[in-house]
A and B are shown apart, each in its own frame.
Chain A
Amino acid sequence: MKSNTLTIIKKEFARFFGDRQLLFTAVIMPGLIIYLVYSLMGSGIQKMVTEGANDVVTLRVENMPASMAPMIKAIDSSMVIVDQPFDDAEIKLLEDKELNLVLLRFPADFDQRIVQHQDSVPKPLPNVEIYYNSTNNAASRVYLMLNTMLNNYGRPFTVNVPQQEGQRFDQASDESIGAMIWSKILPMVIIMMLFSGVMAIAPSAIAGEKERGTIATLLVTPMRRNELALGKIISLSCIALLSGISSFIGIALSLPKMIQQPESMPEGIHTDVPGDIFGFHYGTSDYLVLLLVIFASVLIMASAVSLLSALAKDVKSAGTMVVPFMLVVMVAGLMPMFQNSVSENLAVYLIPFFNSIEVMTAVFAHNLKWMPVIITLAANVAYAGVAVWVLTRMFNSEKIMFSK
């Protein structure tokens, strides 16, 4: 690397690492904030799910049909069942969300009407009323179970009810379920984190120098403009990468807390989702490709934001100019959520940002192919080269550098 480029990189690093406030804001804070926010959200969600799971619910049943009594008693052994009529005043009592009470009303002739419904001239089905307060977790749980049971009542078959311990019907492996989830979520999260890292430093690195008048001091030295452009883009990419890594660590540490299953699911709620799908199941080559693609993405982002920053008169207008560009990156990041697999068309990997997202999606979905990776890396490096060339021209343009 040319020595002047290295000198510029060292200066940008000295500026960044010497400024504790900037270092904290751009590198430590993103990871820390993400970890704290996601962890708190995770705790909140888990609390919401498990709250009331062990509360004892009283179920008052009006006109309990003889045919239903055994099934209702079977849905929750801890539930207290009272066979007693209720009126509107008692329904009103359910507004108190602390009350673990569910009211179930059958028509007096429930069994008879079920039989009549099966006659050659069917009569209307009986209506069953379940009164509960949906903000009471325990009552909601009982409502859910009653509803499921009643909806299945009278069917000549059942679907996917485990007949033995550990029986699973979804044959996807834990690894592939996890891969599918990660491939939908993580590319966007990573891209956004990297972009926020670039945003934290790139606008001030060029527009800030223009605003403060320090860029002119650099431009009167014999350093070539392309050395300055290259030095700026490489240093910004490295610093933004640190910021992105910080965010990534924050996510990696907090995400399992956010989406983990409760240790014990309430009785009666069955799930076919295994417990360890949220663990990473990726190899060294996956991580290596991920790292290379992340760096290539940062390079493109730093290049694009640097160009906009060089066009802007000051840091404030640079920030404004970057917003539409950020929206485009966000939309590209959302694409994996709306597609089932990564593109087979190699030309797609020439599209900046989207190519990185596609490759990341492929890595997380265990669908990695080398040609898209090579095209993505080569395209991004080539685009960064073009950006260095354009930035060099901009540094040479008195209209851009010195316009007030």
Chain B
Amino acid sequence: MSEILRVEGLSKSFKLSRKQQKIERTNRKSIVAVDNLSFTANRGEIFGLLGPNGAGKTTTLRMLATLIAPDKGDAFIEDSSIVSQPEQVRAKIGFLTSELKLEDFFTPNYLFDFFSHLYGIEPEVIAQRKAKLFERFGIDKFAEVKVANLSTGMKQKTSLVISLVHDPDFIIFDEPTNGLDVLTARTVTDYLQELREQGKTIILSTHIFSLVEKLCDRVGVIIDGRMIACGTLEEVCSGMTLEDRFFEMYKEVKGGEE
């Protein structure tokens, strides 16, 4: 399989305000969120970034989506640099995270058209793609209902659909099933598998072992901003369950600290 993503030594630190220093009970002026991270992802695979809260998963994905810039290192998506060609990168990726919200005032129909225009999609393609995606996720019945009046599940589905208006080959999902009811979560995981079958590459972050085992072809384990292990599930697990292997690695890194 050909490589679509190459991450080379990505690092990111955040300054701590006095308030944050108090909360964290530390005197450190900054915190390292991602530390010299390198990995690759191949076309048509689902790559999972597994780690506990605060491990640096979301920061990594936000850097890949060009929402924040790395302090050091670079990443290339289909040879476009996230540092020097952010607009090209954004045109190639779909990014979905719970921090991205849709304007409550508008309808799914309006938002689909609006974002499609921003991606420069032709009107006839917009109509075709909208009909297909809205039907797939059952949004067609709510197409003219304002986002404010949609159920949480329907809002999530609409966000998912909006992130895919340009039919990207590379899709980034930050905690794709977080906060979803079981039915919507199932719809999303099924759709991720469909996307893989279509040859799309998906990189997702999660702390749910079962999700990685169910969906991911390859996995990278991140702890304290560093890549501890990366490979296929078999390679990473070495005959153990993913959960057992993860806690073994966690103890090695943290020295027994929980």
Do A and B interact with each other, yes or no? yes
Comparing B26-34, B84-92, B191-199, B239-247, the segment that makes contact with chain A is B84-92
User: B110 interface residue, CB < 8 Å from A?
Assistant: yes
Q: Which chain A residues in 1-30 approach chain B with CB under 8 Å?
A: 3-4, 7, 11, 14-15, 18-19
Known pairs A15-B105, A220-B90, A221-B119 / 6 extra A-B pairs, C-beta < 8 Å: A3-B120, A4-B117, A7-B114, A7-B117, A14-B110, A214-B102
A216-B100 contact given A3-B117, A4-B118, A14-B110, CB 8 Å threshold: yes
Chain A residues whose CB sits within 8 angstroms of the CB of B93 once the complex forms: 220
Q: Which residue from A3, A212, A223, A402 sits with its C-beta under 8 Å from B103?
A: A212
User: B106 interface residue, CB < 8 Å from A?
Assistant: yes
A214-B103 contact given A14-B110, A398-B69, CB 8 Å threshold: yes
Interface size class of B (residues with CB under 8 A): 20 to 34
**What are 19 sample pairs from A and B whose C-beta atoms fall under 8 A apart?**
A4-B118, A15-B103, A209-B103, A212-B103, A216-B67, A217-B101, A217-B162, A218-B118, A220-B66, A220-B95, A220-B100, A222-B87, A222-B88, A222-B91, A223-B118, A224-B87, A398-B67, A402-B67, A402-B68
Chain A minimum-CB-distance residue to B104:
A212
Q: Which residue from A11, A15, A214, A220 sits with its C-beta under 8 Å from B65?
A: A220
Chain B minimum-CB-distance residue to A15:
B105
User: B39 interface residue, CB < 8 Å from A?
Assistant: no
CB distance from B114 to the nearest CB of A (A): 6
Interface size class of A (residues with CB under 8 A): 20 to 34
Q: Which residue from A18, A212, A221 sits with its C-beta under 8 Å from B118?
A: A221
CB distance from A99 to the nearest CB of B (A): 63
| B interface with A by C-beta (< 8 Å) | 65-69, 87-88, 90-91, 93, 95, 99-106, 110, 114-115, 117-120, 162
Q: Which chain A residues in 152-179 approach chain B with CB under 8 Å?
A: none
* A18 and B105 contacting across the interface, CB-CB below 8 Å: yes
Closest 7 CB pairs of A and B: A213-B101, A222-B91, A398-B68, A222-B90, A221-B118, A217-B100, A7-B117
CB distance from B4 to the nearest CB of A (A): 18
Q: Which chain A residues in 215-233 approach chain B with CB under 8 Å?
A: 216-224
CB distance from B183 to the nearest CB of A (A): 24
Chain A residues whose CB sits within 8 angstroms of the CB of B105 once the complex forms: 15, 18-19
The CA-CA distance from A217 to B97 in the complex, in Å, is 9
